[in-house]
Structure 1
Amino acid sequence: MGFNNMIIENIEDPNELERLFREDPKAFKKAFPHALEQDPDSPVLAVWYERLHFKEAANTEKTLLLQKDFLIMGILAILAGVSSRIIFHFVELQAIAPINLAFGVLPFIAAYFVYKNTPQKSVLYCLAVLFLISGFYLNMLPLNYKDSIILAYLHLPIFLWGLVGLAFTGNEYGKDSTRLAYLKFNLNFFVLYASMAISGMLLAAVTMQLFSFVGLNIEEFYFRNIVLFGAASIAIVTAYLVSRNLKLAKNIAPYIAKIFSPLVLATLLVYLITIIWLEKNPFLDRNFLIAFNGILLGVLAVTIFSITESGSDEKKNISDYINYALIVLALIIDSVALSAILFRLSSYGITPNRLAVLGVNILIFANLIWIMLSYMRFLQNKPSTIQNSITKYLPIYVIWAAFVTFIFPIIFN
C-alpha cells in the first residue's frame, strides 16, 4: 500500500504524480483504486481515472469495430464465392458469357468499400444502378464472338473497375489524393492477392496429390467447387486486409515498383533493338501490332504504379530518371502503333477492333504526353504535380471503356 500513500501524499503535485506513474505504471494502476476510495471527490484523481481507463475503452471500441469489419468481410466473401459458383454453373451450360464471373467479385468489393465509407445517397444509387444496368445489358447481348461483342467483354471489367473506384473514393471521388489512394490500393491488392493465390495453388496441388494416392481423382470437383469459390472469396479478404493497412503488401509494393521499372526498361530496349534488327513490321503484321499494343499497356501500367509509389514531392533519384525513360519509350511505341493503326484503317477500312485500338492509343498518347511534361518540370526542379496527370485522367479511361462496352455492340450490330 506504499504506492497508494504516495499518490495521496502527492495529490497536489502533478509533476510528482507523473513521475510515479512513469516509474512503475503497473504498480501505479494497482494502487490507484485504493487511493480513489480514500478521496473519491478529488478532481485530480478523477482526471487520472479517465486517463488510466480511456485507453482500455478505446481498445474495446476498436476491437468491436474490427470484429464487425471482420464479420462483414466474411459474409461478403462467402457471398462472392457462392455467387461465382452459381455464375460458373450457367457459364458451363453456355447460357451466359464467362465475363459474368466479374459480377461474382467486383460488386462485393464495392459493397465492402461502401460499408467502410458510406457515401451520400446519390453516389450509392449511382453505383447500384450502374452495376445493375451493366449486368442486364451484358446478358442482353447475343452469345456470339463478333468483334464488337468481344470488345464489350474485354472493356466491361475496366468499367466495373471504375465503379469499384467510385465506391472506394465515396464522396471524395473528385479528389486527386483519393484517386491516388485507389491506385495504390490496386498495387497492394495485386501483390497480396498474388501471394495468397500462389499459396492456394500449392495447397490445391498437395490436396489433389494426396487424394490421388488413395485412388481418387478430384481435380474437376476441386476446381469447380473449391478453387473457384476460394479465388472469389479471397479477393474480398484481400481487399479487407489491404484496407486495414496490412504491412506486408504496404512494404513490398514500393520495392516491386522500383525493381520492375529498370527491368522493364532494359527488356524493352533489347526487344526494340531486336525487332528493328529482324525488320519486323507492325504496319503489315496484325499479330505483331497486337503484341506491340500489349507491350504499350504493360509499360503504361508499370509507369503509373512506379509514379504512384514514388511521389512527386520527394527528391529526385535514379528511379525518377528510369520512369522518365519509360515514358519516353512508351511514347515511341505508341507513336509507331498509332501510325500502324491509321495505315491499316486507310488501307483496309474501319472495323470495331481497329477503331477500339485507335481510340485507346489516342487516349494513352495524350496521357503519356501529359505525364512526360509533368515529369520534365519535376526533373527541372520546377513546380509539378506528376500524380495529378494520372489521377485526373483515370475517368477518361473508364468513360472510353463504357463507350466500347455499351455503344460498340449497337453501332456494329
Structure 2
Amino acid sequence: MSAADSLEPEAAIASWRAYLVSRGSLSAGDVDELEDHLRTQIDELRTAGLDADEAVLIAVKRMGRQDEIAGEYARENSRRLWKQLVMAGAPARRRRIDGSVIMIGFAALAAILAKLPELLGAPAFPALLGGGILALAALAASIAWRTRPPVALIAASAVGFALLFVLAFAYPFGNSSDTAIIFSLHAPVALWLLVGLVYAGAGWRTAAGRMDFVRFTGEWFVYFALIALGGGVLMGITAAVFSALGIDPGVVLAQWVVPFGAAGAGVVAAWLVDSKQEVIENMAPVLGRVFTPLFTIAVLAMLAGAIVTGGFGAYREVLIIVDVLLVVVTGLVLYVLSAQPPTARPGWTERLQLLLVIAAFALNGFALAAMIGRIGDGGFTPNRVVALGVNLVLLVGLAGSAWLLGRRVFRADASTRRLLAWQTGYLPVYGGWAIAAAVALPPIFAFA
C-alpha cells in the first residue's frame, strides 16, 4: 500500500524510503539520514497540532525540497495526497475560509498597532519605533497561530519584543543621535529572528528547521515587495486623481495609508507564503541564481577599481557600504543553497559564488584599511564601532562559507549538508550582534 493511499505515518515512511532505495542514487547512510529528517519533521508537525495525514503530506513536501530523489517522490504522490486531504469537503473549506478571515484580522491588528503609540501621544521617533515593533509582534502572533510553537518559545519571543519595545521609549535618544539610527537598524534584525523562533517552532534547533525559516524570509520579502510595488502604484494614481480634483491627499497617504498598508502587508505576505509555498517557494533561489553572476562581475569591477586607484582614501561611509555588499553576498550564497539537494553535484553557480566571496573579501580589505586610518585620526564613534562589528560578524560567517564552498567545488566534500549546517547555525550570531548593538551600544556612547 502506498503513502498516497493510506496516509498512515509508518506506511508512508516505508513507501517513501523504498522509493529512495529503489532509485539507487543514494547510499544507505544517506537514506537513513533523510529518513531521520523526515521523522523529525513529522514529529514536529504532530506536536504543533497537525493531524497524521497533514503531517505526512507537509513533511514529504519539505523533504522534497531538500533532496532531488525525495522531490521526485513528492511530485508523483502529492496530487493524490492533496485529493485525500480535501475529500472531507466542507470542513476543509471552512478551515481555508477561517484562515483567510483570521489573516485579515491579524493584518488589521498590525495596522492599528503600528499607529497606536502615535495615537496615544508618544513622541515621533519612539512612536515610529514602537509602532513597528508592535506590528512585527502582530505578524509573529499570526505565525504562531498557524504553526502552534511550544509555549516556551512563544514566551521567549514575547520577552524579546517587550524588551525592545520598552527600550524604544526608555532610551533618551536625541533628534540627531547616531545611536538612535543604530537602534532602529538593529532592533528589526533581532525581532525578525525572534519571529523565526516562532516560525521554526520545535525545529529551531535543527538545520532543516532554520532553513525553512530562511526560505520563508526570502519568499516573504518577495511577496512584500510585490505588494508594496502594487500599493505604490495605487497610491500614485490616487494622488494624481485627487490632485486633479484640487484636493491634496499627501497627509492622509503619508500618515495613515502608508503605515497601515505596510503593517498589514507584512501579515498578508506571510499568509501568502504559507498558502502558496509549493507554487512559488523557489522564487528567492531563482533570483539568487540570476544575481550571482551579475554581482560577481560588479564586485570584480569594484576590486579592479580599488587596485587601480590605491583604495578608498578618506571616504567615510566606505565600510558601511561594503558591509551592505557583504550582506547581499551572504544572502546570495544562502538562498541558492536553500534550493540545493544535499547530494547535488556542484555547478557553475557554486564556482561563481566562491569567486564572488573571495573578491568580496579582497575588496573588504581595502575598506578596512580606510576605516582603520579614520579611527587612527579621529578615534572610535558609534558608527565606526557598528561598522567594524558588523564587518567582523559577516566576515566570520563568509569565511566559513568560503571554506565549505571550496571543499564542495573541489570535491573534498561535495555534500551541501555541512554548508547548510554552518550557514543556518550562524543565524543566532547575527541575532546576538543585533541585540548587543541595539541594547548595549546606545548607553555606552551616552545616546550620542
TM-score (norm 2): 0.74
Q: Secondary structure at the match of 1:96?
A: helix
Pick aligned residue for 1:370 from 370, 375, 400 = 400
Mean Cα displacement is larger for which, 108-117 or 217-226? 217-226
Matches within 5 A, 1:254-403: 254-282=285-313, 284-383=314-413, 384=415, 385-403=418-436
Are 2:228 and 1:228 aligned?
Answer: no
Q: Partners in 2 of 1:64 and 1:110 — Cα distance?
A: 23
Q: Report what 1:3 is aligned to.
A: none
1:296-331 per-residue CA deviation (whole Å, 9 max, x = no partner) reads: 223223332233234553222211111111111222
Q: Report what 1:215 is aligned to.
A: 246
Q: Secondary structure at the match of 1:63?
A: helix
Q: How many aligned positions are there?
A: 360
Matches within 5 A, 1:14-33: none
Unaligned runs of 5+ in 1: 1-52
Please report how far the alpha carbon of residue 116 of structure 1 lies from its aligned counterpart in structure 2 after TM superposition.
1.2
* Alignment check: 8 A CA contact 1:261 1:302 kept: yes
Please report how far the alpha carbon of residue 334 of structure 1 lies from its aligned counterpart in structure 2 after TM superposition.
3.1
Please report how far the alpha carbon of residue 378 of structure 1 lies from its aligned counterpart in structure 2 after TM superposition.
1.1
Q: Partners in 1 of 2:198 and 2:106 — Cα distance?
A: 15
| AA of the residue aligned to 1:296 | L
Please report how far the alpha carbon of residue 247 of structure 1 lies from its aligned counterpart in structure 2 after TM superposition.
5.3
Matches within 5 A, 1:12-411: 57-89=87-119, 93-94=123-124, 96=126, 98-144=128-174, 145-246=176-277, 249-282=280-313, 284-383=314-413, 384=415, 385-411=418-444
Q: Partners in 1 of 2:341 and 2:357 — Cα distance?
A: 16
Please report how far the alpha carbon of residue 102 of structure 1 lies from its aligned counterpart in structure 2 after TM superposition.
2.2
1:216-266 per-residue CA deviation (whole Å, 9 max, x = no partner) reads: 221221232223211211110110010123456424333211111111111
Q: Report what 2:56 is aligned to.
A: none
Q: Partners in 2 of 1:363 and 1:82 — Cα distance?
A: 36
Cα separation, partners in 2 of 1:225 and 1:297, compared to 1, 3 Å = same
Cα separation, partners in 2 of 1:115 and 1:56, compared to 1, 3 Å = closer
Q: Partners in 2 of 1:74 and 1:105 — Cα distance?
A: 14
Cα separation, partners in 2 of 1:125 and 1:331, compared to 1, 3 Å = same
Q: Partners in 1 of 2:330 and 2:193 — Cα distance?
A: 17
Q: Partners in 1 of 2:148 and 2:220 — Cα distance?
A: 21
| AA of the residue aligned to 2:441 | F
Please report how far the alpha carbon of residue 88 of structure 1 lies from its aligned counterpart in structure 2 after TM superposition.
5.0
| AA of the residue aligned to 1:102 | G
Identity %: 25
Please report how far the alpha carbon of residue 377 of structure 1 lies from its aligned counterpart in structure 2 after TM superposition.
1.4
Cα separation, partners in 2 of 1:55 and 1:295, compared to 1, 3 Å = closer
Alignment RMSD (CA, Å): 2.4
1:343-366 per-residue CA deviation (whole Å, 9 max, x = no partner) reads: 444443233222222222121111
* Alignment check: 8 A CA contact 1:337 1:361 kept: no
Please report how far the alpha carbon of residue 73 of structure 1 lies from its aligned counterpart in structure 2 after TM superposition.
1.0
TM-score (norm 1): 0.80
Q: Partners in 2 of 1:344 and 1:222 — Cα distance?
A: 42
Please report how far the alpha carbon of residue 129 of structure 1 lies from its aligned counterpart in structure 2 after TM superposition.
1.6
Q: Partners in 2 of 1:258 and 1:88 — Cα distance?
A: 42
Q: Partners in 1 of 2:184 and 2:238 — Cα distance?
A: 34
| AA of the residue aligned to 1:276 | I
* Alignment check: 8 A CA contact 2:319 2:387 kept: no
Please report how far the alpha carbon of residue 90 of structure 1 lies from its aligned counterpart in structure 2 after TM superposition.
6.5
Larger Rg: 1
Q: Secondary structure at the match of 1:58?
A: coil
| AA of the residue aligned to 1:77 | A
1:121-179 per-residue CA deviation (whole Å, 9 max, x = no partner) reads: 22121111221111011210013133333322221111111111111111221111111
Q: Partners in 2 of 1:294 and 1:356 — Cα distance?
A: 12
Mean Cα displacement is larger for which, 57-66 or 366-375? 57-66
Q: Partners in 1 of 2:259 and 2:376 — Cα distance?
A: 45
Q: Secondary structure at the match of 1:84?
A: helix
1:87-112 per-residue CA deviation (whole Å, 9 max, x = no partner) reads: 45578953625333421421112111
Q: Report what 1:27 is aligned to.
A: none
Q: Partners in 2 of 1:88 and 1:179 — Cα distance?
A: 35
